[in-house]
Amino acid sequence: MMRLKVSFYLNGEPEFRPNKHAVQGFIYNMLKGTEYGERHDDARFKFFTFSDFFRDKKGRPTLIVSSPDKGFIEALHDNLKDRVRVYLGKEELVIAEVKKFRLPLRRRFQTGSPIVLYKDSGENEYFKLHAHRNLNFFLKRLEENAEKKYNAFYGDDFHLEGPIFDRMVPKLRKNGKLDVYVKIVKNGIPFPVIGSNWELLEKEKIKAEERRFYRFLMEAGLGEKNSLGFGFLNPIRR
CA gap 27, 190 in Å, rounded: 20
36 is catalytic: no
DSSP tag of 172: P
Among the listed residues 9, 21, 40, 130, the single catalytic one is 40
Among the listed residues 21, 28, 36, 214, the single catalytic one is 28
Describe the chain by its helix, strand, coil percentages, rounded to 5. 30, 30, 40
Beta strand 61-67 pairing with 49-50: antiparallel
CA gap 158, 213 in Å, rounded: 9
Give residue 117's identity as a one-letter amino acid code: L
Phi-psi group of 89: left, alpha or beta (phi > 0 → left; psi -120 to 50 → alpha; rest → beta): left
Which of 71, 55, 88, 92 lies closest to 4, judged by CA? 71
21 is catalytic: no
Residues annotated as catalytic (active site), given as ranges:
28, 40
